């Protein structure tokens, strides 16, 4: 059986759906099973990171995201190993080991620490290191539900955003196929896009003429990330600034592992058009 933490998140949900469709036993771990709305073929179980209990009984493979441990990832990994889990697939980040690898960046610190803890756990492991997520574009949804203009930073920043289901497809193969133990898979979408390109694609998917208005990082930071600590926002904005005019990393890992090329952002926008419709 495969256990999926973060089962109601973007990647976790897509992975649960894939495993159910493939007829694989899957235990979806979530803090609120009543509201999970997951496929009927999944065993949906309440998950408390501070008290894993018996959620890993009968589980051999574990899909893990960094925050799943609730501050005690080593404890969660120890409980998994004791219960018989053999292999963990960690959703890490492309900032680790990337061309702009910054060991002081808070996102780097968080994911590199999790990778080290997984390595030290005694479990076999696979690390997935995606760069920009296409789902990051959902940050613009509140603005686009109100109008046709998006205020944001760095109109010309370049990324190669990846569809969450492409990440899930790689995770599925890493969990079910041999040969991924000790592997680090760097994942990206298939093409470079600017923020202006992304907004245009969302416009085509929703049948609207949309406009991206660039505002200064100082003005937009608190507006776009109201819940984030100031030091985190500053580090994030500096990362964004470093991508302006710089070609992003583009890999063919998704196709090599799954046999299907990674989907372009246009496809992601079509899949998520309803999220941006005016309400």
Q: Give the CATH number of the domain where residue 16 resides.
A: 3.40.50.720
Return the half-sphere exposure (C-beta side, CA atoms, 13 A cut-off) of residue 213. 10
Structure tokens at 271: 């899949």
User: How far apart (Å, rounded) are the C-alpha atoms in residues 254 and 252?
Assistant: 6
C-alpha distances in Å from residue 199, one per residue of 104, 238, 279: 31, 21, 18
Mean pLDDT by 10 residues, the chain (279 residues): 96 98 96 92 91 89 88 92 97 85 81 96 97 95 95 95 98 97 98 97 97 87 70 83 94 98 98 92
User: How far apart (Å, rounded) are the C-alpha atoms in residues 100 and 96?
Assistant: 9
Give yes or no: residues 220 and 233 share one domain. Answer: yes
Cβ atoms of 6 and 168 within 8 Å: the answer is: no
Would residue 177 count as lying in a domain? Answer: no
Question: What is the predicted pLDDT for the residue at 250?
Answer: 98
Would residue 206 count as lying in a domain? Answer: yes
- Pairing mode, if any, of strands 43-46 and 193-194? unpaired
Structure tokens at 208: 């609207």
Q: Which domain holds residue 140?
A: 131-163+188-248+263-279
Question: What is the predicted pLDDT for the residue at 217?
Answer: 84
Structure tokens at 252: 């063919």
Q: Report which of 6, 181, 182 is spatially closest to residue 91, judged by C-alpha positions.
A: 6
Would residue 257 count as lying in a domain? Answer: no
Residues in the chain: 279
Looking at the structure of the chain, the number of domains it has is: 2
Give yes or no: residues 144 and 222 share one domain. Answer: yes
Question: What is the predicted pLDDT for the residue at 270?
Answer: 98
């Amino acid at each position: 059986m495969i256990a999926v933490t973060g089962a109601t998140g973007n990647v976790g949900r897509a992975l649960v759906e894939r495993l159910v469709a493939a007829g694989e036993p899957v235990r979806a771990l979530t803090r609120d099973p009543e509201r999970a709305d997951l496929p009927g073929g999944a065993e949906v179980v309440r998950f408390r990171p501070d008290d894993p209990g018996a959620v890993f009984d009968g589980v051999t493979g574990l899909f893990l995201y960094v925050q799943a441990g609730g501050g005690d990832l080593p404890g969660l990994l120890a409980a998994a190993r004791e219960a018989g889990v053999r292999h963990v697939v960690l959703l890490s980040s492309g900032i680790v080991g990337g061309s702009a690898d910054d060991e002081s960046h808070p996102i780097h610190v968080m994911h590199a620490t999790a990778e080290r803890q997984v390595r030290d756990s005694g479990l076999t492991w696979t690390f997935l290191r995606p760069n920009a997520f296409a789902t990051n574009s959902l940050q613009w949804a509140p603005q686009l539900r109100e109008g046709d203009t998006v205020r944001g930073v760095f109109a010309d920043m370049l990324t190669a955003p990846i569809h969450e289901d492409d990440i899930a497809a790689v995770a599925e193969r890493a969990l079910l196929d041999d040969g991924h133990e000790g592997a680090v898979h760097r994942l990206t979408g298939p093409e470079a896009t600017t923020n202006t390109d992304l907004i245009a694609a969302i416009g085509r998917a929703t049948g609207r003429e949309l406009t991206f208005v660039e505002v200064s990082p100082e003005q937009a930071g608190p507006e776009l990330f109201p819940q984030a600590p100031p030091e985190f926002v500053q580090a994030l904005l500096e990362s964004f600034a470093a991508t302006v005019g710089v070609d992003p990393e583009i890999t063919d890992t998704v196709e090599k592992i799954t046999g299907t090329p990674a989907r372009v952002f246009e496809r992601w926008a079509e899949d998520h058009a309803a999220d941006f419709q005016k309400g």
